Amino acid sequence: MSLEAVMYAVNVRREGNTLVTLDQTLLPNVTEYLNLTTAEEMWEAIYSLRVRGAPAIGIFAGYAMAILAKQIPAPDFDTFYQDCTRLSDYLNSSRPTAVNLSCMLRRMDAVVQANKDKAHEELLAALDVEAKAIHDEDIAMCRKISEYGLSLLKDGDGVITHCNAGPIATSRYGTAQGPFYLSKEAGMNIHVYVDETRPLLQGARLTSYELTKAGVPCTLICDNMASLVMKQGKVQAVFFGCDRIARNGDVANKIGSSGLAIIANHYGIPVYSLGPSTTIDFNCPTGEQIPIEERPHSEIKELFYEKPMALPEVQCYNPAFDVTDHSLLAGIVTEQGIAYPPFSESFAKLFPEEMKNV
């Protein structure tokens, strides 16, 4: 697979009244697309991580609401809107931490309300247009984020990344992985160290898969090897994505990101979170207010093992995310530019309208 083929991979798309998405749970060994038509199927796809990555979930949500709206009987607007709200709330319950899901669902809701006095077919058409706009905007955002991220690297750098923030987690290019593909295009020699990202192994199954297929030099390591790799001088930067960013710059990302940032700070290695501005929750003051999803214990004890690796009665704790304190970050890379500490001041310059309303 070529670099271009990887960057332009389409993992979420709409075909008529069907939502088509790559089943990421089967990678890297099986490539299979799901054809989803019901709210239950769509909810399950998000919850089970068949579709994952904050931007990809946002795109998925837009298309989902456009498709589901067509299935709602519409004797009058109030009844239609009640059903739209119910479906939106239902989809939103599938992943509480990733802000793109709720953000894009609110965006689709705003379209419904803005077109309430129009003919029903016009309202449905407006939802179609908005869903496509969400997708197109994400493509442009990812390209910008990738360019800004690449500006932080120099030829010969080693970079460690955690989880997966590449094309299959977004629309194209990726966020935290995007700079690596652009470095390949530019002829730069960047080596990526990929954390496995336990317990769901998104780094091993997805990131190393994408980078290898694109011809980007990479080395897969276990999460607990990061400190040694940094101590050996192989890493000059840490790049990871984000599922929600608080107003003060605290970043919620895949579990293990915070620990990685703490280790990097010990060795004086800069840490950057890369993601679209839609992941910034301007109404969330700090990371303390970010809800952390807890997932089934079976993911720790059973999921990737032939036999369970712990006794059935062993208790587990399986949070899907942690929050990296803003003090550990050298910068937050968005499509509008790079925010540097203090982040509240940087956000005010980059996003004056959003900050004005908080």
- Please count the structural domains in the chain: 2
pLDDT at res. 355? 87
Q: Which residue type sits at 298?
A: S
Q: Which domain holds residue 97?
A: 3-142
pLDDT at 97: 77
Residues 182 and 118 in one domain: no
Domain boundary among 126, 142, 158: 142
pLDDT at 86: 97
E strands present in 147-296: 158-162, 191-195, 218-221, 237-240, 244-246, 251-254, 271-274, 280-281
pLDDT score for 357: 80
On whether both 206 and 321 belong to a single domain, the answer is yes
Q: Are residues 151 and 138 in the same domain?
A: no
pLDDT in tens, 176-219: 999 999 999 999 999 999 999 999 999 999 999 999 999 999 99
Give the pLDDT score at 10: 66
CATH code for the domain in which residue 89 is found? 1.20.120.420
Shared-domain flag, residues 208 and 342: yes
> Which value, in Å, is the radius of gyration of the alpha carbons in the chain?
20
Same domain? 123 vs 150: no
Residues of the chain with pLDDT under 70: 1-10
| pTM to 2 decimal places | 0.89
Give me 165's structure tokens: 């923030």
**The residue type at 38:** T
Q: Burial-class residue 225 by CB neighbours within 10 Å (0-12, 13-18, 19+).
A: middle
Rounded to 5 degrees, φ, ψ at 18 are: -125, 135
CA end-to-end span of the chain: 46
pLDDT value at residue 227: 98
Burial of 62 (0-12, 13-18, 19+ CB in 10 A): buried
The residue out of 111, 142, 173 marking a domain boundary is: 142
Do 133 and 203 belong to one domain? no
Residues 136 and 258 both lie in one domain: no
Looking at the structure, do residues 132 and 20 belong to the same domain, yes or no? yes
Same domain, 33 and 153: no
Q: Quick one: tokens of 208? A: 């190393």
Q: What is the pLDDT of residue 356?
A: 83
Domain identity same for 88 and 174: no
Cite the active site residues. Answer: 243
Separation of alpha carbons 91 and 257, rounded Å = 26
Same domain? For 300 and 263 the reply is yes
- Element at 4 (helix H, strand E): helix 3-7
Query: In terms of domains, do 71 and 95 share one?
Result: yes
Domain boundary (116, 142, 168) is at: 142
pLDDT tens for each residue of 227-241: 999 999 999 999 999
